[in-house]
Structure 1
Amino acid sequence: MMETTSENDAVNSKLIPVTLDANFFFERAVRSLDRFQYDKALKHFRKAVEYEPDNPVNHCNMAGILSEMGKYEASNDILAQVLETIDPGMTECHFYMANNYANMESFEEAERALVTYLEEDAKGEFLAESEELMELLQYELDRPAPLNRIKSREGVVEHDRARALLEAGQFTQAVGLLEEIVSATPDFLAAHNNLALAYFYMGRFAKARECISEVLEQDSGNLHALCNLAIFLQYEGDRDQLTGLVRMLEATVPFHQEHVFKLATTMGILGRHRTAYGHFRRLLKDEEVGGDASLYHYCAAAASNSGLYAEAQRCWRQVTKLDPESVVPQFFLAQLEQAQSEGIEMPLVSYNYQLPFQEKLKLWKDNKGSFAEEVKTNPLLRSSFFWALRYGDTNTKLQVTEALRWIDDAEMSEILQDLLSQQPLQEEKLQEAALLSLQKLIGSGPVENAPLQQDPEPAPLFQKGQPEWKEDWQRVIDQTASMMDRRYDAGQKKDAEQLWQQFIGRLYPDVPYIRHAEGWCAALEYLTAKLHKRPVTFREVAQRYGVTESMVSRYAKRIAAECEIN
């Protein structure tokens, strides 16, 4: 008898107790979502609500799943219950309800919910999305919305300007403007988050943490702040705090597209590639962004870094269809095929939609020593150099040959010699750059027939008429010039053309696929008008070109950032 009891104790000691609480079912719901098992996810979220009925986040997650399943009425019933009995301060529920009503084509109800959101929400998390939805509702109802005020608009114009400065790397100016905004409107949480990022980029880590703390004091569940905090903690090496925060973020299921993308990219930065992959997969199902080549690359990178090579291959093949001119998917498909044939793991892939060497070239001039060492030791980076020299266009080869002067490597010398041996090498600037690079690598005096004794000038911008210039790029110039006719003089139209050529030249070869030409045209006219001090608004040009204000704003910021327009 005593022996039997001992055996039972031994068995019991090996059992791991399971705590059935809200977090347990939350995590099970997340795993079900990763497998797109919505019925199971809904079941687990309901159990999480049973364990924590006063937690509004659990209810909102359940509403989000119902919305994705097309059960919009049931989703709104839950959101209404949150506002009525659990947390009336969760104003974002009004925005979620507006989207559900719009999907049900109940446009008047959608308008009422959206107006309530805009007039009550102080954070403005979904302001851009609200503007697009408002335009849709105005079109469907054939009248403007009865909107008296937008609570979160205070400081928005200044905030947009600060974000543009931040994206352009002008951190000091961005900090000055953002500090003014948060001083005037302390509850403008988006400005606090961007100020934290600006401080972080400048190396002012204590101030960055202080800003994040202020956001979380006002809104403990602010996803942007939590994601930024996780990145800060990783940089500082604070593993204790980071572990708990990452666990919470991994159990979070964002409701809105912007939050899904923020969380996905954060998980990628933190090295949680499997979680990032699940979120990117969710985004690919969204019709609005699901056709974006770069998004498929993000998903492929996350899949590859998770060891899901078949899925990575599928995604990169889709990139080749969406962006057939890009060499990026071709490069990674070739690297993946080689790794599989050799039976080795694929090196970690960057989420940036570009070849590895292009990402590093942004920093190489300021740190040539470490750059040269990384080229020698990083196989994926090294392969991308070879790939660019063999298959890249003239501008790409120019970038590579200039950088190779600082990499003392025999194999690189052979590649350059092969490049020079091509008969004929038609691009004169490329020949000059290759000769200079080879001369420096060999270190034995001038190479025979080298035409220059100094660094070549930077590669010129791509101009209309060159072989690389595409019809869809030219279409933007032609359409913009036509729309600007009789309202702008010839010089101003020429400025718009040159601005577009400069933009394409700065991005080349990673020029985005021009899916919405009218949006780019509107952005081009807007910036040209601003450069000439002409009064113009996003709404004005958006109406003229038949696009949304948010699209014009987004494209204008992209052009301004690349062309360094202040």
Structure 2
Amino acid sequence: MSDESKEDSRTIVPFYQNGDYFFHRGLQAFHKKHLNRAAKLLERAVKLTATEPIFKIQLAAVLSELGEYGRSNELLQSVLASSGSQQPVCHFFIANNEVYMGHFYQAEKHVRLYLEKEPNGQFAEEAHELLELFEDDPFMEEEASSEQFLDDHEQAWLFLRKGQAELAVPLLESIVSKHPRLWAAQNHLAEALFCIGETERAFAICQEVLDKDSGNLLALCNLALFYFEMGYTKEAKWYRERLASVYPLDSGHAARLVQVLCALGNYKEVLSRPFPIDADEEAALLRCYGVASYHEHNEKAALEHLKKAVDLGDGASKQLMEAVANKQSDDISFTLFAERGFLSRTLDS
């Protein structure tokens, strides 16, 4: 037989990486305590097999371990919505997440739902132990109202994170109408309004916050970015110089500030500061320091930061690595608008 005939007779067996494949690899990573890798693999499994509730529940468990309780609950709620009463264990996991978020009224509600639907379930003993805590100190309706307010603010931030500012606006407007001195909600509302083109209201809200709380960091960050995005370089420079003299103690504020400074092009100042510890912002911070390192002529450090961000699932960093490789300097920048929906994570300032 000729070589050509041999080649034609070969059978090529394709290798399909389906949801099961990524799910089992995710479980292996989870058991080895490689939580970020486990989350990435399980997210891939969910994407490939979106109808499998177990995949979502396992991903929710990993997210809880990473402290991403809100995202975890989103997944668990979606399972309950699609599976009805077939996955009551979701109520138990939601209850645990709510405890970590300080939402004790919601936690008690979900632990009772779990025991009602699965009184002899796998986590029945743990659920009864949790319930004993609530029975010793029952939670009142006013606490439920307070928790609902926190939930609404968290949901508004999630909308901003996804670039859905138009959905965040009504939630934030409702919050600030009831809590006008909650500066975090006011600042988030200003961000959302700016994103949907209501720039005058956005500027007015920031100025009002500063009139009542002079030196409010998030309002200063907002104004710096607003002026920068609108091309008012003189005003943006004034705020940039003022922000460069601020060194927040709060990790969330520190994370926000270095990202703003990077977006404003103050790369040297970014690199002079320690890397903030903020799990929610880790990928964005790595991208931020990667961009700053590149513009300060340290390509090796830039690629190291960007590679770590890519490993955490940051698509924007992958594009930046390609731009670095192709020497496309004009495309190497950091923004708080396109990829991240222009948001600040802080909910309490």
> Scaled by the length of structure 2, what TM-score is found?
0.48
> Scaled by the length of structure 1, what TM-score is found?
0.31
Higher relative contact order, chain-length normalized (CA < 8 Å, sep 6+): 2
